[in-house]
Amino acid sequence: MRLEDLKIPFEANEIEWRQQSQGISGNGKPWCMVLAYVSNRAIMNRLDSVCGLGGWQNEYQTGANGGVICGISVKVGDEWVTKYDGADNTQVEAVKGGLSGAMKRAGVQWGIGRYLYYLDATFAITQIEKPQNMDGWNSGYDKKTNTKYFWQTPTLPNFALPITNEARKQIKELIEVKEVIAEDFFKYFKVTDLEQLNREQSIKAIDLLQKK
């Protein structure tokens, strides 16, 4: 088990987006700011793949002011190590939302999806007209003006995406051809395996290796 693998970025299709704020401007055009987050399902799958089905567990406790505290425990050697975090109940599906939010925050304590905190709130591309193809589009509604609109799922930056299979293969070949010591390569990028490189790092690695 390599706990560092918990920090590996998720594929874009495992990331979900929600509106943080929205409205209709004076000229009638919609706008919305959205935030990226990892779903609980993706967090559980990551824990399964890194720690094994029996290598992790979670628990919930009642938090302050009716909130929820979640603890995620990972078996490290012969001991269980637990990290906690909490969240308030949400306005929609309050209890379920609170449990989900607490689990996500506890996951961040282990490094799962922590990189998403470096993403700023993003203004999504919005329009009133319904797209002909809804792939990558989401619907929104402004209660103040009784207006339905559509917003496009943003594209994640390279630092928030995992290395591609093609880049992984290319780096392996370059390390061999250029006779680079793998240990020095990993030390430079502060990782222990190519899987832990994000896409931005992999692009930099290929460029450096090609210039060597």
Cβ count near 27 (within 10 Å):
5
Place of tokens 């939302």: 97
Average confidence (pLDDT) over 87-98: 60
- The answer to whether residue 62 scores a pLDDT higher than 90 is no
- Please provide the size of the chain in residues: 212
Average pLDDT over residues 126-149: 94
What's the whole-model pTM score? 0.85
Q: What local confidence, expressed as pLDDT, does residue 97 receive?
A: 60
pLDDT band at 91 (very low <50, low <70, confident <90, very high): low
Quote the CA–CA distance of 135 and 74 in Å, as a whole number. Answer: 37
Is residue 38's pLDDT more than 70? Answer: yes
Cα(200)–Cα(171) distance, integer angstroms? 13
Q: How far apart are CA 189 and CA 201, in angstroms?
A: 8
pLDDT tier at 190, thresholds 50, 70, 90:
very high
Instruction: Determine contact, residues 70/76, Cβ cutoff 8 Å.
Output: no
Once rounded to an integer, what is the mean pLDDT over residues 26-49? 93
The model's confidence at residue 94, banded by pLDDT at 50, 70 and 90, is very low
CB 136 within 8 A of CB 124: no
Average pLDDT (173-199) is 95
pLDDT class for 149, splitting at 50, 70, 90? very high
In the predicted structure, residue 93 carries a pLDDT above the cut 50: no
User: Which of 169, 172, 174, 201 lies closest to 188, judged by CA?
Assistant: 201
pLDDT tops 50 at residue 92: no
Comparing CA positions, the residue from 80, 58, 79, 81 lying closest to residue 70 is 58
